[in-house]
Amino acid sequence: MIATIEWKNNRVFMLDQSRLPIDVAYIECRDYLKVAEGIQKLWIRGAPAIGIAAAMGIALAAQEIAAEDFTLFMKKLDPVFSAFLATRPTAVNIQWAVERIRTLLRSRKDETISALKSLLIEEAKTILAEDVEVNKAIGRWGAQFIRDGDTILTHCNAGSLATGGYGTATAPMLIAKEQGKQFQVIADETRPVLQGARLTSWELMQSDIPVTLITDNTAGALMKKGEISLAIVGTDRTVLNGDVANKIGTYTVAVLCREHAIPFYVAAPMSSIDFSIPSGDHIPIEERSPEEVTHICGTCRIAPVGVKVRNLAFDVTPAAYVTAIITEKGAFRPEDIQKLRSPHADLDAIRIRAGR
């Protein structure tokens, strides 16, 4: 599996996903502003991956800080935290990473600044390593929903490239394959940035999982013909009531699934669950530049000069359309997600099992 992001020789190396699958090239980031730019410009994208990138960017920034005491160190880190929080608003993972790092630093405030700088590098590497384990666990819980002969629809890219490795929506597929199940995947191309065409189909082919690429507006026709067995997608932020924000067009897929009685699963690491927001109405939705819509891959204009554009990068699928949310702790009905907030929740009582 190709690395999405790495910490090497006190630098951050990110795979430039905006050039995939034509070129496989890494961008070397020597300072945190370059990492933040990479998140904003989609060199790295996908909720867990941008959380990891933010953690590495913070570690990078910290190495350059001159501070004699903890208070000054934190004060100088503040604009760094703000820079990452301002990059992309919908995925909660950047917020999650910043909070995790702030809490860690506060708990170690009596240590030397030099020790704290090393701690931040170790923490960023830990966040990356943990993400891979989390995804494998999502895969183990999710694989039960894939049966021999299934055709799985996925939208956008919630694969290895969107994470530290293994992916969230793709993890159940990878585990099902390891279990010897025979199935195929249909990838929505995912206008306007084409994560499905450029990234998902590319990485599934590398994993030897049979994949067929379709335009976004083909999904309904295939469902009507009985050619889709289930859908699995990722999420940028799932909230207390089980509403799910994900790539624009996910809501359309979910509504189509409901109409055709097709199970609709969301793979969601706990780092993408925001218990502080009661419903999807409160999730900030990123709107990106009109050029993503008026041009193909930034170069070829396909719309008239001056046309008005709306380019919402994400939408919200109401919990009612979601069959189950697959986390590293198990698969749950969306209405039970709120129970995961408590460390004492009886998970066995609320986990759901295959048997659709």
Which residues touch 232 (CB under 8 Å, ≥6 apart)?
Answer: 142, 145, 152, 153, 154, 169, 172, 173, 265, 266, 267, 326
Give the relative orientation of helices 70-85 and 113-142 as an angle to the nearest 10 degrees.
40
Residue with smaller CB distance to ligand MRU, 234 or 334: 234
Residue with smaller CB distance to ligand MRU, 120 or 143: 143
**Partners of residue 202 on adjacent β-strands:** none
User: Per rule CB under 6 A, is residue 156 in the interface with ligand MRU?
Assistant: yes
Stretch that binds ligand MRU, among 106-114, 154-162, 208-216, 331-339 (CB under 6 A): 154-162
**142 in Cβ contact with 326 (< 8 Å):** yes
- Tell me how far, at minimum, the Cβ of 105 lies from ligand MRU, in Å: 26
- Tell me how far, at minimum, the Cβ of 109 lies from ligand MRU, in Å: 33
Distances (CA, A) of 12 to 18, 32, 36, 46, 143: 17, 9, 11, 17, 33
Extended beta strands in 16-127, E state: 26-29
**49 in Cβ contact with 132 (< 8 Å):** no
- Tell me how far, at minimum, the Cβ of 42 lies from ligand MRU, in Å: 6
Size of the site for ligand MRU (CB under 6 A): 17
Which residues touch 225 (CB under 8 Å, ≥6 apart)?
Answer: none
- Tell me how far, at minimum, the Cβ of 103 lies from ligand MRU, in Å: 23
Stretch that binds ligand MRU, among 45-53, 143-151, 204-212, 220-228 (CB under 6 A): 45-53
User: Per rule CB under 6 A, is residue 327 in the interface with ligand MRU?
Assistant: no
Residue with smaller CB distance to ligand MRU, 53 or 262: 53
Pairwise CA distance, residues 282 & 116, whole Å: 35
**Residues between 169 and 198 that touch ligand MRU (CB under 6 A):** 195
> Residue holding tokens 């608003």?
89
User: Per rule CB under 6 A, is residue 45 in the interface with ligand MRU?
Assistant: yes
Among 127, 153, 162, 262, binds ligand MRU (CB under 6 A): 162
Q: 154: helix, coil or strand?
A: strand
Give the DSSP letter of residue 216.
G
Among 213, 313, 319, 326, binds ligand MRU (CB under 6 A): 313
**Partners of residue 326 on adjacent β-strands:** 267, 331
Q: Is 236 in the active site?
A: yes
Among 4, 18, 160, 163, binds ligand MRU (CB under 6 A): 163
Contact pattern for ligand MRU over residues 234 through 273, marking x by CB under 6 A: xxx---------xx--------------------------
User: Per rule CB under 6 A, is residue 158 in the interface with ligand MRU?
Assistant: yes
270: exposed, middle or buried (Cβ count in 10 Å: 0-12, 13-18, 19+): middle
Residue with smaller CB distance to ligand MRU, 177 or 247: 247
User: Per rule CB under 6 A, is residue 228 in the interface with ligand MRU?
Assistant: no
Give me the residues that bind ligand MRU (CB under 6 A), please.
45-48, 91, 156, 158, 162-163, 168, 195, 234-236, 246-247, 313
Residues designated catalytic = 236
